[in-house]
Amino acid sequence: MGMIDASVLERVLASALRTGGDFAEVFAEDRRSSSALLDDGRVEELTSGRDRGAGIRVVVGDTTGFAHTADLSEAGLLAAAEAAAAAARGGGGGVRTVALGPVIAPGRGFDIEIAPIEVPKARKVALLTQADETARSVAGAISQVSVNYSDSLRRILVANSDGLLAEDETVRTFFAVSCVATGDTGLQTGRETVGHTIGFELFDRYDIDDLARRAADRALTKLAARPAPSGQMPVVIGSGGGGVLFHEACGHGLEADLVSKGASVFAGRVGQQVASRGVTVVDDGTMAREWGNIAIDDEGHPAQRNVLIEDGILTDYMWDQLRARSEGRPSSGNGRRQSYQHLPMVRMTNTYLLAGTEEPEDIIASTERGVYVKHLGGGQVNTATGDFVFGMTEAYLIENGEVTEPLREGNLIGNGPEVLQRIDALGNDFAMGPPGTCGKDGQGVPVGDGVPTLRVTSLTIGGTAA
């Protein structure tokens, strides 16, 4: 790809270290994206954009200086390097020469088959209108439909004063259908999303009509839903749809920056049992085609499969370069940033619970009364305490070991560490959930999550039923 010549990078890094820096890094990015929205039967104009620039980080002791620029010329990069060095400067001086050697990333193990940038706009727009027509044809009660399409091509280059030089290219494609159904209970919504780190071949793998019908059916089902109950009861979480709970409730608490700040309930607990036996939690940036797939992280380190909790025992945290460096250990490939305008921090990639051995039907059948959650919505978590609240976007009552009536207007309320300890059944039907964007300190990055069907012996349902 060669965004910036290696000799230029070496001079920029040398300049960044001239006043006594301990570490310097250049992160360059060239991102192209396109998107289209259909709303209320009208296709909005297909938009496209390009963002290109570099961020330069200089570390002196515990102080980090950072500057970014859209000017990738040598003069522009040198100016940014001087600004970052000035911000981090602690005195000293002298010249430090940096020799760069390429990092050989393991690669993704798959190729992009159809580059979205080469697909005509008309073909992308046709997907929107097809989904709209299919969703509306399901029932007259479908009163609103919105459809989103987006794709992106992101090229990055990372060079640092340790001699690292790495480059990568990532393509992602996304599609979502949202429906509103109108009935006696008011307005109810249903949504279906797909997204993978692949090209336009996404639409060879997924049927647009099927996605649209599922979104419409979800909204229609909720028209007949009864208010969710309130109180503590067993909760069965369906495969795929509940992964976001564990992303939020325990994933963030396993990020080394939050651990080092004392803002995690899992701080100082490596080697301890933090979950039920049989519970294994993994973060894996190498998962082929998943939304959080990366070949290298945004600090140039190869993606890895990191086991965080194994058979209930906390084995490790996720690490970026600076936190790992301070602990005298390697990065786990979890240094990520939203763009060249942001500093990297510890972030998840694809975070999931491994499957167990039980049949999903048996887990439900052995639950006398409870709630079956097929899909969770957005939520909030306090990483220092592990307390969380999540909305249930699709849930059903379990009565006498059978899934019965659909529920609405309910939240799941609990505590991450307690949930891990209360898992008493794991299904053999692991699946990844829909694509997600994880927000942290004002930055968003693409992530994936997944779970098998599982049962938590007791969670608080915050419903509206009397």
All structural domains of the chain with their residue ranges: 6-33+49-102, 116-157+168-224, 231-462
Rounded-to-integer distance, Cα 397 and Cα 400, Å: 10
Residues counted in the chain: 466
- The string of pLDDT tens digits covering residues 272-330 is 999 999 999 999 999 999 999 999 999 999 999 999 999 999 999 999 999 999 899 99
pLDDT of amino acid 87:
86
pLDDT of amino acid 186:
86
Looking at the DSSP bridge assignments, the partners of residue 352 are: 282, 450
| Superfamily of segment(s) 116-157+168-224 | PmbA/TldD superfamily (3.30.2290.10)
In this structure, the number of other CB atoms found within 10 A of the CB of residue 333 comes to 28
* Nearest-10 Cα torsion for 97, 297, 168, 108: 140
Mean pLDDT of each 10-residue bin along the chain, 466 residues long? 88 92 95 96 91 94 91 94 85 48 70 94 96 98 98 97 95 98 91 97 98 97 92 96 87 94 93 97 97 97 97 98 93 98 97 98 98 90 90 95 92 94 98 94 96 97 77
